[in-house]
Amino acid sequence: MLKAPRGTVDILPPDSSRWQQLEAVLRSISRKYNHEEIRTPTLEHSELFLRTVGEETDIVQKEMYTFKDKGGRDLTLRPEGTAPCARAFLEHGMSHGRLPKKLFYIGPMFRYEKPQAGRYREHHQYGAEILGSPSPYSDVEVIMLAVDIANELGLSGTQLFINTIGCAGCRGKHREDLTRYLEKHREQLCPDCRSRLERNPLRVLDCKEGSCKAVVKGAPAMLDYLCSECKDHWNQLKGLLASYKLPFEVDTSLVRGLDYYTRTVFELKWPPLGAQDTLLGGGRYDGLVEEIGGGPTPGVGFAAGLERILAASEKGTKPLRASFGMDLFVISQEDRFPSSLNAGFSLLREIRDAGFSGDFDPLQRSIKSQMKQADRLGARYVAIFGAEEMDGGNVTVRRMKDGHQDTVKVNEVVSVLSGEVAESDAAKQ
Ligand code: HAM
């Protein structure tokens, strides 16, 4: 039997309704913050990620789905959404419009990683980006947006970790001293970190290996190398977070796995998730747009993994329901009550026209089995077309939560559903 590729998952009903609800929450929060949606292609020229995410990163070195298309173009399934946003921002002249440009996106990302709980080869991200603002208020605004998402989903106890990795100017000297320090401790580093040492020494700082952690403890800290502008930005950021009551912890080993970051980096974790507990991560990327040929355009943003947010939602205080519920399930049994199927189907048309949701059983199983189906679907009401109802244009409407039942005229069902007529008051003739 053919199966979905390793590390990918099918999103099936009724679970897909949890995805839709999450997406609705994300869209509505984005609107509150005035972020507009952008949809970029799933494919990009590989060069975009080489130049921005960075040739020495794990993503580019090990994880990209890169291939040549039939025209010989070197393409990559996007592993992340920030570089594509910046590319579209430039390509479509958004840089000439009013800045900052506040964007959001929801879509699949692809990384050839070792699949495990919370880590997939195709995962989905919600991302929010602010392009064209150097202000620390913009850093705080995206962090607020991120925290709002967690709060809205009932994920209390999230932990915000922040760090600064300086700018191209102040990072050089730090990198030099860090490399020299790590070289001295080369023997204690894990094999991965030994190779990182040449390629990307900053990444040694967030290695999870015990021996590397011990070395990192004594490493030169970026905070001591910040230029005065980066130091100002960092201090303003911390001051604003404190004054807006956004609790944070400074984690000097937080460096993130993408090369485009400058100054602020942050992650929001939710410990009950276990090993993969990073709900979202982001930071400032003041050189990214220039890297792909644009003018100086500071930017800041973050992205959240939807699979992780959904896994967290199950354990949070406001779990997203795996069903939307339904307003009305219509029950008829054509072989016992001729024309009841047609009467029921007409009623469905009427209630859907009035904006309500409903369904029926085209296979006309027993009334008992249809009642069970209505229950499974979370129907608020069922409308039963039985023997007596079939003479006289009536239908029995049953409120599922308490079993209250009344016989009403078929054309009154819409009023019952909208709560305009209490069932017991509905005229019975
Ligand atoms: P990232 O940290 O690589 O950042 O990914 C963002 C989030 O996507 C992670 O925090 C995690 O929740 C989720 N994620 C990443 N990889 C996987 C995976 N293999 N399986 C499941 N979930 C995953 C970025 O991608 C940046 N573009 C974020 C950003 C936006 N920075 C500035 N703006």
Q: How far is the CA of 288 from the centre of ligand 1 (A)?
A: 17
Q: Is pLDDT of 422 > 60?
A: no
- pLDDT digits over 170-211, tens only? 999 999 999 999 999 999 999 989 988 888 898 898 888 889
Assess whether the C-beta atom of 81 lies below 6 angstroms from ligand 1: yes
- pLDDT digits over 237-268, tens only? 999 999 999 999 999 989 998 999 999 999 99
Pocket test for ligand 1, best of 57, 269, 273, 278 (most atoms within 8 A of CB): 278
How many C-beta atoms lie closer than 10 Å to residue 338's C-beta?
10
In terms of Cα–Cα distance, which of 115, 103, 105, 56 is closest to 78? 105
- pLDDT digits over 286-295, tens only? 999 999 999 9
pLDDT attached to residue 427: 40
When pLDDT is averaged across residues 142-155 and rounded to a whole number, the result is 96
When pLDDT is averaged across residues 73-79 and rounded to a whole number, the result is 98
User: Which residues have CB under 8 Å from 119's CB, separation 6+?
Assistant: 113, 276
- pLDDT digits over 324-351, tens only? 789 999 999 999 999 999 999 999 999 9
Tokens representing 205 are 């700082």
When pLDDT is averaged across residues 123-135 and rounded to a whole number, the result is 98
Pocket test for ligand 1, best of 280, 285, 306 (most atoms within 8 A of CB): 280
b/e string for 18-37 if b means 16 or more Cβ within 10 A? bbebbeebbeebbeeeebee
- Of 105-114, 144-153, 414-423, which gets the smallest average pLDDT? 414-423
Q: Count Cα atoms within 13 angstroms, Cβ side, for 343.
A: 25
How many C-beta atoms lie closer than 10 Å to residue 287's C-beta?
18
**Whole-angstrom Cα Rg for the chain:** 28
Q: Considering the chain, what is the average pLDDT of its residues?
A: 94
For ligand 1, what atom is nearest to the CA of residue 282?
Answer: 31
Pocket test for ligand 1, best of 26, 58, 60, 80 (most atoms within 8 A of CB): 80
Q: How far is the CA of 75 from the centre of ligand 1 (A)?
A: 20
Q: Using CA atoms in the order 121, 263, 126, 105, what is the torsion angle rounded to 10 degrees? A: -110
Q: Which residue has the higher pLDDT, 390 or 128?
A: 128
Spatial distance between the Cα atoms of 206 and 197, rounded to a whole number of angstroms: 13
Assess whether the C-beta atom of 119 lies below 6 angstroms from ligand 1: yes
Residue recorded with tokens 């747009």: 289
Which protein residue's CA is at the shortest distance from atom 18 of ligand 1? 119
Pocket test for ligand 1, best of 308, 309, 313 (most atoms within 8 A of CB): 308
- pLDDT digits over 213-223, tens only? 899 999 999 99
DSSP tag of 425: G
pLDDT attached to residue 368: 96
Determine phi and psi for 123, rounding to 5 degrees: -125, 175
User: Which residues have CB under 8 Å from 182's CB, separation 6+?
Assistant: 189, 193, 197, 201, 204, 215, 219
Which protein residue's CA is at the shortest distance from atom 11 of ligand 1? 305
Q: Is pLDDT of 42 > 90?
A: yes
User: If pLDDT is split at 50, 70 and 90, which confidence band does 425 have?
Assistant: very low
Assess whether the C-beta atom of 385 lies below 6 angstroms from ligand 1: no
DSSP tag of 409: E
Spatial distance between the Cα atoms of 167 and 38, rounded to a whole number of angstroms: 28
When pLDDT is averaged across residues 406-419 and rounded to a whole number, the result is 94
Determine phi and psi for 15, rounding to 5 degrees: -60, -30
When pLDDT is averaged across residues 381-399 and rounded to a whole number, the result is 88
Assess whether the C-beta atom of 129 lies below 6 angstroms from ligand 1: yes
SS3 151: helix
Assess whether the C-beta atom of 103 lies below 6 angstroms from ligand 1: no
How open is the CA angle 236-172-49, to the nearest 5 degrees?
85
Tokens representing 234 are 């960092």
> End-to-end distance of the chain based on CA atoms, in angstroms?
59
Assess whether the C-beta atom of 146 lies below 6 angstroms from ligand 1: no
Q: How far is the CA of 243 from the centre of ligand 1 (A)?
A: 28
pLDDT attached to residue 178: 93
DSSP 98-135: SS-EEEEEEEEEE-----BTTB-SEEEEEEEEEES---
Assess whether the C-beta atom of 234 lies below 6 angstroms from ligand 1: no
Which protein residue's CA is at the shortest distance from atom 16 of ligand 1? 119
Q: How far is the CA of 11 from the centre of ligand 1 (A)?
A: 19
